Amino acid sequence: MLRLALLRFASAVPTLLLLLVLAFFMMRAAPGGPFDTERSLPPEILAKLEQAYHLDEPLWKQFARYIGGAVQGDLGPSFQYSDFTVNQLILQGLPVSLRVGLGAMVLALFVGCAAGIVAALRHNRFSDYAVMTLAMTGMSIPVFVIAPLLILLFAVTLGWLPAGGWQDGGLRDMALPVVALALPQIAILARLMRGSMIEVLNSNYIRTARAKGLATRTVILRHALRPALMPVLSYLGPASAGIITGSVVIEQIFGIPGIGRYFVQAALNRDYTLVMGVVVFYGTLIILFNFLVDMLYGVLDPRVRAE
């Protein structure tokens, strides 16, 4: 177990480092800089600015400086929002992004698994086809199409929910973004859950449990559910990555003051540190999540544990 943890950890570190290197040098290879304005600044002011932000140093030195700071948890000052550090901006957006992201994750897990189980139990019957068709629809309609359609229906036409914005962060603000973010994941989870449940239900030990005369309820909840959940568990890593990526778009569409909305804007404005900050933060989160899921998998699956 410890060996497995060390092994996984050993591959997580180079991943993160590679991500940092790629993001850093790609950003710096971009033409233009953070101080490009409509009127170009006088050269001496520009030089002073670049000196203040260490942009006049050779690139490798800047990278070393950045890594040094990042390791200590300091992501540097933002260029675009000059009164804020990147840490402040991320901490400001974090509670909001976390609420929406976790909400979507929880919703996707419950609805996706429930739909998948129903479809598996009604294999090749009407509810199975209905769930699978819906799931296929959910997979085929991108987040950024679902979101405007939801707004069109629930905000513009019916007027039940706000079209965007973030008043108090209550359920009314959260409903549409969370649903939009969760739908594609619900679809994928439902298909996964159905597939693994059907396989488990066909296995010998389930037949034994049924033959013993156990109630269907007990067979499913006590015997079938746990092994059937394993593939779902291993999908949690990619699912979290999908939700985080999706939040970049969702936060933009709904005008949610989270972390994701900074990313594209910052990249376009060459706000080097803010871009790096978002990449570092979300990258670490995704890699950490994958690591935890791997570990959990090892704890829950006796076959992996034995290796």
- Closer to another protein by CB, 216 or 265: give it: 265
Inter-helix orientation angle 59-71/2-29, to 10°: 140
Q: Which is nearer to another protein, 229 or 244 (CB)?
A: 244
At closest approach, how far in Å is the CB of 154 from another protein?
13
Name the residue nearer to another protein (CB basis): 143 or 220: 143
CA distance readout (Å), 97 to 104, 166, 194, 204, 235: 11, 11, 30, 45, 21
Residues 231-270: x where in contact with another protein by CB under 8 A, - otherwise, as a string? ----------x--xx--xx--xx---------xx--xx--
Q: Should residue 119 be labelled a site residue for another protein when binding is judged by CB under 8 A? A: no
Q: What is the dihedral of CA 43, 44, 50, 52, to 10 degrees?
A: -160
Q: Is 122 in contact with 128 (CB distance < 8 Å)?
A: yes
DSSP alpha helices (H): ranges in 151-271?
A: 171-201, 204-211, 216-218, 225-254, 260-268
Q: How far is the CB of 221 from another protein (least distance, A)?
A: 28
269: tokens are 């404005």
Q: Closer to another protein at the Cβ: 23 or 220?
A: 23
In the complex, the smallest distance separating the C-beta of residue 12 from another protein, rounded to whole angstroms, is: 7
Among 64, 136, 171, 221, binds another protein (CB under 8 A): 136
Those residues with Cβ within 8 angstroms of residue 127's Cβ, 6 or more apart along the chain or in another chain: 118, 119
- At residue 267, the 3 state secondary structure works out as helix
Which of 69/195 has CB closer to another protein?
195
Binding site for another protein (CB under 8 A): 11-12, 14-15, 18-19, 22-23, 26-27, 29-30, 136-137, 139-145, 147-149, 151-152, 156, 241, 244-245, 248-249, 252-253, 263-264, 267-268, 275, 278-279, 282-283, 286-287, 290
